[in-house]
A = this chain, B = another copy of it.
Amino acid sequence: MSETSNQPRSTFYNSASTPIGSNLSRQRTLSSSSIDPYEDPVVGLERVTQTQVRRRPRRNDISEAVEGRRDIEEDHALSSKFESLNYEICENQLYRDAESKSGHQLNLRRIQLNRWIACFLIGICTALAGIVIDILVHTSADFKFHYILQTLVDRCDNGEAIAGGGCMWLVQLAWMAYNCSMVFLAACLVIFWSPIAAGSGIPQIKCFLNGIHIPEVVGLKTLVVKVFGVSAAVAGGLCAGKEGPMIHSGGAIGAGISQGKLHKKLDPGFFKEFRNDREKRDFVSAGAAAGVAAAFGSPIGGVLFAIEEGASFWNQALTWRMFFSAMISSFTLNATLTYYFKQGGLLSWNGLANFGVFEDKSYTIWEIPLFLMVGVIGGCTGALFNSLNYRISEFRKKFVSNKWQRLVEALLVAAVSAFTGFVTLFVVDDCVPLGLGMNRTEGLNRLYCKKGEYSAVANLFFANPEESVKSLFHSPIGSFKPTTLLIFAIEYFVLSVWTFGLAVPSGVFIPALLTGAAWGRLFGLGVEWLFPNVAGIDPGKYALMGAAAQLGGVVRMTISLTAIILEATKDMTFGLPIMLVLMIAKWVGDFFSEGLYDLCIELSEVPLLGWNAPKMARNITASKVMRSDLVAMEKRVRVGRVVEILAATSHHAFPLVDRIDESDTSRLPDYGRLEGYILRTQLVALLKKRAFVGEGEEGLMGEMMSEQDFIDVDLREEKVEMGAADEMAMMDLAPYMHSHPHRVPLNASLPFIYRLFRGLGLRYLMVVNEDNRLRGIITRKDVARFKNTKGFALRELFISDHQF
């Protein structure tokens, strides 16, 4: 009996969890009738019928029941990997009754206060993460420059001629060895411990805030790997920034602190009221804002970032808390680093990326067209960056999938990066007299140059990237030769294209800024050469514009990026040209390709909901979008039936109807009027607390549950013991169900549905017919399937299982 009923269950599961029509080609232009799942249900579908359910399950079925069938889950991992977050409040009787309790108002105030406390802690901790990264990178750089290189260079100095480069192989080898070992560390952390921590982290945070839960994306492990991994990657001389990972770390800290625990085993029980998707998402956005604030010393930019790139569901109170987190984070980092580096008692504006102050802050009106040209170039090079990186990522996905291959690739990039620097240093002869941009030489700067001179190439390749950006912005006019800038820009561009997407935590902000600053300065030198008689042309200004243009062309942010750059350069004067440059770069870039983060997300096949509903979708109705092969229950339901359904499906919500007609077994059941829905976690909590009464008994259904009982239900962990007699007991779901879920009629259009999902952060939407009878359910993923192609045509995606 259990064998016979197992068979249909797994079949049922298959049909339920596979996106409808996945047997069709993976992506195709939408045609009318064949994808209507309601009118044309999947052929041969077998269902869990009442008769099948009335059996005694084996004891070990229960853990299966809680989690869904694990073996099947691995075949169709999509639903477990990219689950949606639920921003909707479950308005059930418990929720309504809470208001009449005596302590309710006090409780609301306490929760409000706790929100601010949590945001304060998020700010502090994000700053601490930034401080750790900064100090680690600085310590490593000190060690590398002073103890390894200085010693070796000094030894070479004593023995052989400097310019000859006889023992330079030793320096080079030591340098490469150090870099590779650092990158090895970073890559091992990522590959063997937390693969999700690879890359920038911004796409992941963006997805999270959009409402998609990528497993472990905001976990403690990810945070640790991110912080130490990015320190090692930057210390290892990769073309990698620490800013993206800082933002991801901030998000992880936001999630961790708001849940009152960083791991399920370390749970002091704080902030229990925030343990739901809704609150968690809000705190992650505060964390992301704090991350930007720490990375760039830019609280306004952080808030704008969270709004522009992230927080889909935004409100004023949340903005204030984000702002508070960002402010605290920026302040803490500022004060601590001021103290650590003993820069005196004055707190001036700071951040991890600090691009110095421009001396000459003016520009003339005829420079604006030149700035716009810089924007156009930035848009083009940014688009080139994106499409090259996309191809490399695709290649990587196919051919560098193995863990060891990924490790070797990371080491290869580290070695090539170091090698390129040395080769350039050897080939390009750009020795600049001391006093021009630099006052003393250390380590590599002296190599290949006469006394009293330093190497501009070494200054670019071997310094801290932030310092290189600073010197490109502020060095006087003769500091860099055009050839040096050109070669550097090209090499750095290629290296950073290759680096982004490696199995190490690495951001793209600083590499893009540095590349852009190099070609921007080159552009400035060109302008100066063309107009030799016009005073006041500062190549540093063009370096700033180039940096903005390149970064804008890559990431396609406008308003938040403007704020970030303005705050990082501590100055408002260039606000207008920077805005223009970013806008032009975005327009030009959008003409060629999508933004880097969007491409990442596309590659990972995450069901992201964009800002606007797809075009040409007005005639797609709810009946075409919905899934009609749903599983509903009645409000009073037998425990055995619930266990059966939980085991047989992986759905996370079950609509409740007043009547289920399963008389015609060749078709899907005919459901009655919609009365509400209940979540899988709630059902599991009810079973766990045994909130049911034996057959025939009436009255109160077991003990009434409290709100606390529904918190912390981890579907992967729970084990529920269920005896044979319990199977026949009855549960009353009415007090726990959301009694007035959002619903649309069958003729509602896709844009209409889209606005509901976007505007309210829904996970489920019920579809009813003209009599309010349940006809289907629309999930976030069903909506995200519809995308526009470049030429406005609508296509329907089927999301396959793929690692982020």
Residues of A within 8 A of B (CB): 89, 91, 95-96, 98-100, 104-105, 108, 299-300, 303-304, 307-308, 314-317, 319-320, 323-324, 327, 330-331, 334-335, 345-349, 361-365, 558-559, 562-563, 566-567, 570-573, 575-576, 579-580, 583, 611-612, 615-616, 618-619, 622, 658, 673, 675, 739-740, 743-745, 747-749, 751-752, 755-756, 759-760, 768, 770-772, 791-792
Contact = CB atoms under 8 A, between A and B. Distances in A.
A624 to B, nearest CB: 13
Nearest to A773: B772
A359 to B, nearest CB: 14
B300 A308 contact: no
Contacts of A573: 348-349, 570
Contact of A563 (B104, B300, B755): B300
B331 A576 contact: yes
A745 B674 CA distance: 10
25 contacts: A91-B618, A91-B749, A96-B619, A98-B618, A99-B616, A99-B618, A99-B619, A105-B791, A299-B575, A300-B300, A300-B559, A308-B316, A346-B363, A347-B364, A347-B365, A347-B576, A348-B362, A348-B573, A570-B572, A570-B573, A658-B770, A740-B744, A740-B745, A740-B747, A768-B772
A185 B611 CA distance: 48
A314 to B, nearest CB: 7
Given A317-B611, A611-B315, A759-B759, A572 B583 contact: no
Nearest to A568: B572
A327 B576 contact: yes
B739 A747 contact: yes
A435 to B, nearest CB: 27
Given A563-B300, A572-B570, A792-B105, A96 B611 contact: no
Contacts of A768: 772
Residue from A96, A308, A314, A347 whose CB has the most chain B CB atoms within 10 Å: A347
A126 to B, nearest CB: 15
Nearest to A792: B105
Given A572-B571, A744-B740, A771-B772, A100 B619 contact: yes
Given A96-B749, A768-B772, A330 B576 contact: yes
A99 B788 CA distance: 14
A444 B675 CA distance: 78
A684 B331 CA distance: 60
Given A315-B612, A570-B572, A740-B752, 14 more contacts: A89-B751, A91-B749, A96-B619, A99-B618, A299-B576, A300-B300, A320-B583, A324-B583, A346-B363, A570-B573, A740-B745, A740-B747, A740-B749, A759-B760
A295 B391 CA distance: 47
Contacts of A572: 349, 566-567, 570-572
Contact of A319 (B559, B571, B576): B559
A755 to B, nearest CB: 6
Contacts of A327: 576, 579-580, 583
Contacts of A347: 362-365, 576
Residue from A89, A673, A752 whose CB has the most chain B CB atoms within 10 Å: A752
B575 A567 contact: yes
Contacts of A622: 740
A300 B576 CA distance: 10
Contacts of A616: 99, 104-105
Contacts of A345: 364-365
A366 to B, nearest CB: 8
A92 B558 CA distance: 36
A308 B100 CA distance: 33
A772 to B, nearest CB: 4
Given A108-B615, A768-B772, A349 B317 contact: no
A648 B736 CA distance: 45
A439 B615 CA distance: 64
Given A571-B572, A740-B745, A747-B739, A335 B770 contact: no
Nearest to A576: B331
Nearest to A345: B364
Nearest to A559: B323
Contacts of A618: 91, 95-96, 98-99
A9 to B, nearest CB: 32
Q: Pick the 5 closest A-B CB pairs, nearest first.
A: A759-B759, A772-B772, A346-B362, A740-B748, A316-B611
Contacts of A91: 618, 749, 751-752
A619 B100 CA distance: 9
A367 to B, nearest CB: 9
A673 B334 contact: no
A91 B745 CA distance: 13
A756 B752 contact: no
Contacts of A749: 91, 96, 740
Given A739-B747, A749-B91, A559 B320 contact: yes
